[in-house]
Structure 1
Amino acid sequence: MDVDITAFMPLITESAQSKNNAFEALTCAKDGDREGYHEKMSLSKEFLLNAHKEQTNILSLNARTEEIPITVYLIHAMDHVSNAQMVHDLVKEVANLYLNK
């Protein structure tokens, strides 16, 4: 089975980088490192925006009636974007508990 990874791999890689940076930011917050926290969260947001741009590109193609094959891989990749958004938002909330003691 041939799978075209160009449609979904950017979603997974950008989302993974977003999540990784968010978790690193949380570690910084736990350590009281405000500068490190803000730097890592900024990177997390940047990767998250890149993932959203890739997702929007796919949705735009489909909206223009271009055929986008819906595969388990694409669904999995879309889940990664949703999870990255959730992790990013949750880390911001939890980090506030550490940074605003």
Structure 2
Amino acid sequence: MNDEQMAVIMPLIMYGGEAKSSAIEAIQAAKAGDFTKADSAIQAANEAIVKAHHGQTELLTKAANGEAVDVSIYMVHAQDHLMTGIAFVDLAKEIIALYQVIQG
């Protein structure tokens, strides 16, 4: 694993975690009835996912161009963080919609 690959992998971990944290913040805001804050937190989560996808796309492009991309525990960990972040954001949107119905 070289420094260049780590420079791509670490943001995946960082932004995936940021997306998850923002999604949880959005759910908590919706639970409290603050849907403006919930929307803002979901927007922040979506922005973090987009940033993470840029790094992932860079790795996929390298692999598609025939460049060697090492699969390491760091890569697996990074993908885990990204997918968990995406899942949390998707679920947070549904939970927020439910709170909107309940709190009508």
Shorter chain as denominator, the TM-score bin is over 0.9
CA distance in 1, matches of 2:48, 2:72: 24
Identity of aligned residues (%): 32
TM-score of the pair, normalised by structure 2: 0.90
**SS of alignment partner, residue 8 of structure 1:** helix
Q: How many residues align?
A: 100
Q: How far is 1:3 from its partner?
A: 5.7
Supply the AA of the counterpart residue of 1:16. G
Structure 1 spans left out of the alignment, 5+ residues: none
**SS of alignment partner, residue 7 of structure 2:** coil
Q: How far is 1:7 from its partner?
A: 2.8
CA distance in 2, matches of 1:91, 1:7: 27
1:8-39 residue CA offsets vs partner (Å, 9 max, x unmatched): 10100011111111100000000000110110
CA distance in 2, matches of 1:87, 1:66: 32
Higher helix share: 2
In structure 2, the partner of 1:38 is 39
In structure 2, the partner of 1:83 is 84
Supply the AA of the counterpart residue of 1:52. H
CA distance in 2, matches of 1:75, 1:60: 18
In structure 2, the partner of 1:74 is 75
Matches for 1:18-37 after TM superposition, within 5 Å? 18-37=19-38
Structure 2 spans left out of the alignment, 5+ residues: none
Supply the AA of the counterpart residue of 2:78. A
TM-score of the pair, normalised by structure 1: 0.92
Q: CA RMSD in A?
A: 1.2
CA distance in 1, matches of 2:76, 2:20: 18
Q: Detail structure 1 runs of 4+ shifted over 2 Å in the superposition.
A: 2-5
